Chain A
Amino acid sequence: MSVTVRIPTPLRKLTGGSDEITVDGTTVGDVIESLESAHPGLKERICDDAGEIRRFVNVYVNDEDVRFLEGRATALKDGDELSIVPAIAGGC
């Protein structure tokens, strides 16, 4: 199962500048593990020590927030697009 993951600006230094990564995984949790294997350090930015998605980071499958689906267990299908959307606060 191949899905595309959109990487937000603050995390691109961990992906060598890539804004989009294609990885394999059948669930959101799988994809996060695949991301970590490909680009170590990504998982701890997205998940807390217990492996849960951090409260100030939202992960979307297409246009749906996984918190309102099945979280890390959310099943994926070929061609789905994951977006990582961290809280940002700048207005300055």
Chain B
Amino acid sequence: MIDFTEEQIERYSRHIILPEVGAEGQSKLLESKVFMIGAGGLGSPVAYYLAAAGVGTIGIADADVVDLSNLQRQIIHNQDRIGMPKVESARETMQALNPDVKVNTYNYFVTEDNIRDIISEYDLIIDGCDNFPTRFLVNDACYFEKKPLISGAMFRFEGQVATFKPHQQKDAPCYRCLYPEPPPAGLVPSCSEAGILGALAGAVGTIQAVEAVKELLGIGDSLAGKLMVFDALRMEWKKLKLRKDPGCPLCGDNPTITELATYEQACELKFGE
């Protein structure tokens, strides 16, 4: 266990007082390393809360720069940061909130060539990206590197959150057990085309952050094997069962995916059009 400074004891006192966390749990958080894909709508609340929680090392990857149209939901950035790389802006905000946190910035997108090396350094991976190819890439890489993955996604007024750790539990599914294939090109519009309720990002990302802290601490029930679905218009959360698919091409009985492949950009589709 680490030796807390007086300031740390005060900063984390509301955690330390929780029997489920305690000094030991807080110490564990400070020694944890989390890697986040995306510094956007979901990445903002996740990064903010993980930094506040004192997760010791936070890696964050994103190749974009802050744009005015981001600020309706991406609360880790601000007006003065327009044009700045999102990962730099995120780092400044996190370190202003909590100087205990070491932030590693990756000012590029994860690809099949770099992702395994990057995530091998981390304990837990959080996906808040904005496209299907990256979701499949991240899922496959986490499976090969045996890293737990907390995945969040949203669309207009709806959100989905799931935890994948098929390497830890024999019956736990991966993202491909949930959705074996991405939709074909042309079926799902992007945020800029479809719109997104800004605060939805907070609802979904905050659930990811809660789940991440629980996963790091090893407390409570994991979301593994469940899919949380949020409908903001109905103001309703549902928890659906996620089964491991024995025929899954990645984690099933006879896998056909044995290494990272090229993940096609297949976005800009129209599921409901």
- A interface residues, Cβ below 8 angstroms from B: 6, 8-14, 19, 45, 54-56, 58, 60, 63-65, 67-68, 83, 85-92
User: A56 and B182: CB pair below 8 A?
Assistant: yes
For B272, the chain A residues whose CB sits under 8 A away are 9-14, 45
Centre residue among A11, A45, A89 by max chain B CB count within 10 A: A89
Point out the residue from A63, A67, A83, A89 that lies within 8 Å of B130, measured CB to CB. A89
Give the contact stretch, choosing among B93-101, B116-124, B152-160.
B152-160
Main SS of chain A's interface residues? mixed
27 contacts across the A-B interface (CB closer than 8 A): A9-B158, A10-B155, A10-B156, A11-B271, A11-B272, A13-B272, A19-B231, A19-B233, A45-B271, A56-B187, A63-B240, A67-B243, A68-B245, A85-B229, A86-B183, A87-B178, A87-B179, A87-B188, A88-B153, A88-B155, A89-B153, A90-B155, A91-B127, A91-B154, A92-B38, A92-B130, A92-B190
Where the two chains meet, the residues of B that have a C-beta atom closer than 8 Å to any C-beta of A are 38, 40-43, 127-132, 135, 152-158, 160, 178-183, 187-188, 190-192, 194, 196, 227, 229, 231, 233-234, 238-243, 245, 267, 271-272
Contacts of B190 in A (CB 8 A): 90, 92
